[in-house]
Amino acid sequence: MAEAGQSTVAGTNEPLVRFEHVQKTYDGEILVVKDLNLNIERGEFITLLGPSGSGKTTTLMMLAGFESATHGDIVLNGQSLKTVPPHKRDIGMVFQNYALFPHMTVSENLAFPLQARRMPKAQQKEKIQRALDMVELGAFGTRRPGQLSGGQQQRVALARALVFEPQLVLMDEPLGALDKNLREQMQLEIKHIHENLGVTVVYVTHDQSEALTMSNRIAVFDDGVIQQLATPSELYEQPENAFVAAFIGENNRLLGTVKAANGGMCEVDLDSGEHVRALPIRIDGVGSRTTLSLRPESVTIDPTDQQCDNVFDAKVEELIYLGDHTRVRANVCGHDDFVIKVPRTTGAPSLAEGNTIRIGWRSEDCRALDAAS
């Protein structure tokens, strides 16, 4: 269970959306969403992130009104949504498959939600043009969806969700069907549109890099529970458990047993026999099992700095040149999948497959977490 604090994005103390002890089951036995408590602030971009089956999409569908909560309540702008049908929730929706009407022009697709709200035609025309200009499709109003590229169709879907100026926009894996370059371009475009409009966005994805790029805050779901709710930098740099550390970014995991804990540090005996100092984040005390989390960029090669109080031999197994850095896979402490990211500016003449090098890291960069595998 996790509950949000106040966001710096918020324009008022009252959250726009509140999930209050929300549960969802489809069969009466297995809870897909378990006692969800979540505040979504006005004007923020919050992403529900997690693997398939984690509960993130079900949470979005309950907010949209396409699914009903088994228990608990969802409140939008101070009003319970229990008896409010989807079309009366003042929510815009963007789907992965665009959900555009193929027999209608782009302008007619955008007019549909305005007509449903009985808006005067003159006002419709103005709002449609403004929405199309916003997504840089001002000259495409007379085309049909089939005459547009995938990226253009997704822009139309976004414009349709925004054209009636809803208080909340929901996006369900909206970029999943696009190729990598276009997906990255659209991430930035959606981010900028959000910043310019100040509309509240709830975004669902399983792509952690997408979530890190776009969000003010990210709720990481697993097994129907929010494992951690934080800003992108906090999630990456300060994961609270082993699942979040493994799911967000690349991460080295070392398993061991807590030998001692004092002075804000703990000492861990690894299963491979080595001894490591780490920052105790979530441990059950001396004698408990723990998973050590260490980011690849926190590892130094050929360490001479005394700040590296964990120093070990590493046998280089594989080198991959990636331009701005070299990805080194090495055998460290009995793990042959240990990853080190070496910046291009770092001179490393000893980096060759088969060589044994010295590596090190600071205890502050190594987080002792729960023993989840």
- Tell me the CATH number at 318: 2.40.50.100
Mean residue pLDDT of the chain comes to 91
What value does the mean pLDDT take over residues 359-369? Answer: 95
Domain count, the chain: 2
CA distances from 219 to 31, 112, 143, 155, 193 (A): 18, 32, 38, 25, 21
Q: Are residues 198 and 141 in the same domain?
A: yes
Q: Are residues 259 and 197 in the same domain?
A: no
Taking 90 as the threshold, does the pLDDT of residue 127 lie above it? yes
Q: Are residues 266 and 234 in the same domain?
A: no
What value does the mean pLDDT take over residues 122-150? Answer: 92
Q: Are residues 37 and 55 in the same domain?
A: yes
In which domain, by residue range, is 311 found? 250-369
Q: Are residues 81 and 195 in the same domain?
A: yes
| DSSP state for residue 355 in the 8-state scheme | -
User: pLDDT confidence of 9, banded at 50, 70, 90?
Assistant: very low
- DSSP labels for 255-290? EEEEEEEETTEEEEEETTS-EEEEEESS--STT-EE
Taking 80 as the threshold, does the pLDDT of residue 349 lie above it? no
Taking 90 as the threshold, does the pLDDT of residue 219 lie above it? yes
Residue 273 lies in a domain: yes
User: pLDDT confidence of 348, banded at 50, 70, 90?
Assistant: low
CATH number for the domain harbouring residue 55: 3.40.50.300
pLDDT at 8: 40
Tokens 């080198």: give the residue: 319
What value does the mean pLDDT take over residues 227-233? Answer: 97
Q: Which of 216, 242, 268 is the last residue of a domain?
A: 242
Percent of the chain with pLDDT over 90: 76
Residue 235 lies in a domain: yes
User: pLDDT confidence of 263, banded at 50, 70, 90?
Assistant: confident
Percent of the chain with pLDDT over 70: 95
Q: Which two tokens stand for residue 272?
A: 């491979």
User: pLDDT confidence of 211, banded at 50, 70, 90?
Assistant: very high
Residue 104 lies in a domain: yes
Q: Which of 177, 208, 242 is the last residue of a domain?
A: 242
Residue 117 lies in a domain: yes
Taking 90 as the threshold, does the pLDDT of residue 232 lie above it? yes
Residue 12 lies in a domain: no
User: pLDDT confidence of 5, banded at 50, 70, 90?
Assistant: very low
Q: Are residues 156 and 296 in the same domain?
A: no
Q: Are residues 93 and 53 in the same domain?
A: yes
Q: Is 104 helix (H, G, I), strand (E, B) or coil?
A: coil
Residue 73 lies in a domain: yes
Q: Are residues 214 and 297 in the same domain?
A: no
Q: Which helix (H) or strand (E) holds 38?
A: strand 31-40
Q: Are residues 178 and 267 in the same domain?
A: no
Q: Are residues 151 and 222 in the same domain?
A: yes
Residue 1 lies in a domain: no
Q: Are residues 209 and 123 in the same domain?
A: yes
Q: Which of 192, 212, 242 is the last residue of a domain?
A: 242
CA dist., res. 190 & res. 211, Å (int): 12
Residue 348 lies in a domain: yes
